[in-house]
Structure 1
Amino acid sequence: MRYFTAGESHGPQLTAIIEGLPAQMELTAEMINKELTRRQGGHGRGRRMQIEKDQVEITSGVRHGKTLGSPVTLTVVNDDWKHWTSIMGIEPLPEDTKPEDIRRQITRPRPGHADLVGGIKYGHRDLRNILERSSARETTMRVAIGAVAKQFLRELGIRTVAHVTEIGGITTNPDTYAGKDVEELRVIIESDPVYCADPEASKRMVEAIDTAKERGDTIGGVVEVVIEGCPPGIGSHVQFDRKLDGKLAGAMMSINAFKGVEVGLGFEMAKKYGSEVHDEIAWDEERGYYRKSNRLGGLEGGMTSGMPIVIRGVMKPIPTLYKPLESVDIDSKEPFVATIERSDPCAVPAASVVAEHVIATELAKAIMDEFRSDMMDALKQDMEAYRRYAKEF
């Protein structure tokens, strides 16, 4: 499976093309729209989320609710485009247009964004040509693609969830939700304002977000993705580029504003002895092989172990501030205080939704690499046979 996304933040639409999905997989726009709604939610989101009510249209690759095996095209229209047609128009400008007549040009790069480096790389003096594509608006399509991947995984008995474990230095108490499976976690977080499974921590996170907004500042946090039901052996140890933990880490780091990733105990391992890190192996007739703990987060030697996959990512505070930072105008080279394009005091809850979907996408791709994936029923049969083999090995 491979995919591409296209579209600008204030352009007419966002588009994704997914190639390689198996035929006969159930897929509807409703399945995708539910996830897009979750991406736009969470306490701390700004005005853009009220402007855009994202709804996907499936324009190829699906007939009567099932995939055909041909490329699937997903489209989300930008409702705000009507206010940007003259600014972001596709057709050439009139010959007598002067540079100073082009509306909403940007020559002042914002610290922490792609503006300056992207302008240097692609030779754009109007930095809007950079920020329109580098915007986190692109994650709309990453979630839409991930919703398709989640449906694929769901049909194989693999379930995913993501939740917020830290915002602004306020951390959850894992004992609060210890022992809960993916579906139980989902019920809790979908009714929580910051998608957090610890009610007490959630209240303090909401307060921290409100405080940051009052100060004209922003805060970041940590999100955790949990995946249950994946059989052992997905990925490989034989080459560096086939190791699944590396692929999952790369997917997490590809999300806008993410600056760190860890699997299982992650960086805590540096403080512990080996006997406190590695997971002892056991076997019983019902479960087959399993681990007595899951400190390695369901991944060993670049492959899934059969235990739940647990991976976390850290999102930096959004760099667009109402208390702006200093920068330099690329035309005049004079210092200035950075302008505001838009700002959310905290987008960590929404980022948890994005994280779940990019990780689901990468896992789905890995599974399709392992099994024949032209037809969903055949893939299910292969997967079931492999599960039996792994259990009885």
Structure 2
Amino acid sequence: MRYLTSGESHGPQLTTIIEGLPAGMPLTAEDIDFELARRQKGYGRGRRMQIETDTANIQSGVRHGLTLGSPLTISVENKDWKHWTKIMGIPPLEEGLEEEVKRKVTRPRPGHADLVGGIKYGHRDMRNVLERSSARETTVRVAAGAVAKKLLSLLGIEVAGHVLEIGGVRANPPEYSSLQELKDKTEKSPVRCFDKTVETKMMEAIDNAKKNGDSIGGIVEVIVEGMPSGVGSYVHYDRKLDAKIAGAIMSINAFKGVEFGLGFEMARKPGSQVHDEILWNEEKGYIRNTNRLGGFEGGMTTGMPIVVRGVMKPIPTLYKPLQSVDIETKEPFTASIERSDSCAVPAASVVAESVVAWELASAIVSQFYSDRFSTLKEIIEQEKIYGRSF
């Protein structure tokens, strides 16, 4: 299973094409719209979230609410496009009208892809870089993730994401009776945080950053329950599922670190406090009393909850911009400002859910027979039983 995305931040639309979905899986645009709406929420978002109301347009691969097994095409319209038709137009410019194209960017912003992308592709207008490297592209990554989450949920696998830290304000580890409780509580939080005692402090940190023309980052966590054991493989580096998930997290705009389970804390502990002992229970089969490794051993799922965290740096677009150099004159300037958020960590937790869900769904589809969804569901149910009783 694979997907591609296309489109620019201020172009007419964003598109994803998904190939490899099983046939006969229930899917509606509403399944995708729900996740798109979640991505647009969160304290600290900028003005664009007031302009756009993202909705999915399924253009192929579904008939009467069921997937066909053929490529699935989803597009999301950029409603702000009407203000950018001249600047981002497709046809060639008429001779003598080049100067009428405003907003040419010649001052690359530190922390963005602007300068390096311009060097790589030979663009003298950095807009050619920033339009595609923008986090707006995560809209259709969330759309693809919504499809993956639908597949997983129908197989009894649930995915939840939440915010652990924003701008140095850290939440206590969440304690919950079910993953649904975690979802319900974080969905009601403006910063998507389970810990109500720090919610206000996180919002204050975002307000202070905005007041100072600055931005702040944070840490998000994704938890997955219901995965059968043995998904992934130890036989080769590119088949290790935790490695694929780590790569997916790192591919999200502004993410700079990833860890599973105890993560970097493992460097400070002896092995006896890191590894998860294997026990036998007559009713449940193989069990672990701890989940320090975050649901993985040898690049494969253990059947325990998957716990993965990602570190998001502060967004580099600042309203008190950093020093830069004009690529035309080589003179120093402060970097140009594009519309941006002061903090996108709550929204990033939704994107993190999506990319993790995609890697898990893709691994399942690759490892088990998946032409027909009904057959895949039967196989996964049997795998869960086999993994407990082996």
**Is 1:257 equivalent to 2:254 in the alignment?**
yes
Partner of 2:131: 132
Residues 195-234 of structure 1 aligned to structure 2 (within 5 Å): 195-234=192-231
| SS of equivalent residue, structure 2 residue 17 | strand
Deviation at 1:270, TM superposition (A): 0.7
- Aligned-pair CA distance for 1:292: 1.0
Aligned counterpart for 2:334 among listed residues 327, 332, 337 = 337
Give the AA of the match of 2:288: R
How many pairs are equivalent? 390
Partner of 1:107: 106
Deviations 1:265-317 (Å, cap 9, x if unpaired)? 00011111111111111121332212110000000110000000000000000
Tell me how far apart the structure 2 counterparts of residues 11 and 366 of structure 1 sit (CA, whole Å): 32
Q: Could you tell me how far apart the structure 2 residues matched to 1:206 and 1:9 are?
A: 27
**CA distance in 1: counterparts of 2:375 and 2:129, whole angstroms:** 44
Gaps of 5+ in 1: none
* Separation in structure 1 between the aligned mates of residue 177 and residue 326 of structure 2, nearest angstrom: 52
Alpha carbons 2:242, 2:296 under 8 Å: kept: yes
Aligned-pair CA distance for 1:96: 2.8
Question: Which amino acid is the alignment partner of residue 374 of structure 2?
Answer: D
Aligned counterpart in structure 2 of residue 287 of structure 1, from 278, 284, 290: 284
Which residue of 1 is the match for residue 322 of structure 2? 325
- In the aligned structure 1, how far is the partner of 2:176 from the partner of 2:61? 40
Shift of 1:387: 1.8
Match of 2:142 in 1: 143
Which amino acid in structure 2 is aligned with residue 101 of structure 1?
E
Per the alignment, residue 46 of structure 1 pairs with 46
Contact persistence 2:105–2:336 (CA under 8 A): no
Between the aligned partners of 2:284 and 2:156, the Cα distance in structure 1 is 15
Shift of 1:385: 1.9
Which residue is equivalent to 2:75? Answer: 75
The residue number in structure 2 matching 1:14 is 14
- Please report the TM-score for the alignment, with normalisation by the length of structure 2: 0.99
Offset at residue 202 of structure 1 (A): 1.2
- Give the 3-state SS of the residue equivalent to 2:216 in structure 1: coil
Percentage identity across aligned positions?
67
Provide the C-alpha distance between the structure 2 equivalents of 1:287 and 1:355, rounded to a whole number of angstroms. 31
Secondary structure, counterpart of 1:18 in structure 2: strand
SS at match of 2:215: coil
User: Contact conserved, 2:176 with 2:182, CA < 8 A, in 1?
Assistant: no
Post-superposition Cα deviations, 1:245-284, rounded to whole Å, max 9, x if no partner, equal 1000000000000000000000011111111111111121
Q: Give 3-state SS (helix, strand or coil) of 1:107's partner.
A: coil
Task: Report SS of the residue matched to 1:211.
Answer: helix
How many angstroms does 1:101 deviate by? 3.3
Instruction: Determine the C-alpha separation between the residues in 2 that align with 1:33 and 1:125.
Output: 37
Deviation string 1:41-67 (CA, Å, 9 cap, x unpaired) is 000000010011101110100011110
When the two chains are superposed, the root-mean-square deviation of aligned CA atoms in Å is 0.8
Number of the residue aligned with 2:356: 359
Compute the displacement of 1:182 (Å): 1.3
1:119 counterpart SS class = helix
SS at structure 2 position matched to 1:160: strand
Match for residue 367 of structure 2 among 347, 365, 370? 370
Residues 173-204 of structure 1, C-alpha deviation per residue, up to 9 Å, x if partnerless? 11xx3243211100000000100000011111
Aligned to 1:314, the other structure's residue is in SS state: strand
Describe how 1:150-189 pairs up with structure 2 within 5 A: 150-174=149-173, 177-189=174-186
Deviation at 1:322, TM superposition (A): 0.8
Shift of residue 365, structure 1, vs aligned partner = 0.4
Partner of 2:303: 306
Is the partner of 2:259 in helix, strand or coil?
strand
Question: Which stretches of structure 1, 4 residues or more, deviate above 4 A after TM superposition?
Answer: none
**Secondary structure of 1:312's aligned partner:** strand
Q: Structure 2: which 5+ residue stretches go unaligned?
A: none
Moved more, 278-287 or 217-226: 278-287
Q: Secondary structure at the residue paired with 1:207?
A: helix
After TM superposition, the score normalised by the length of structure 1 is 0.98
- C-alpha distance in structure 1 between counterparts of 2:96 and 2:46, whole Å: 38
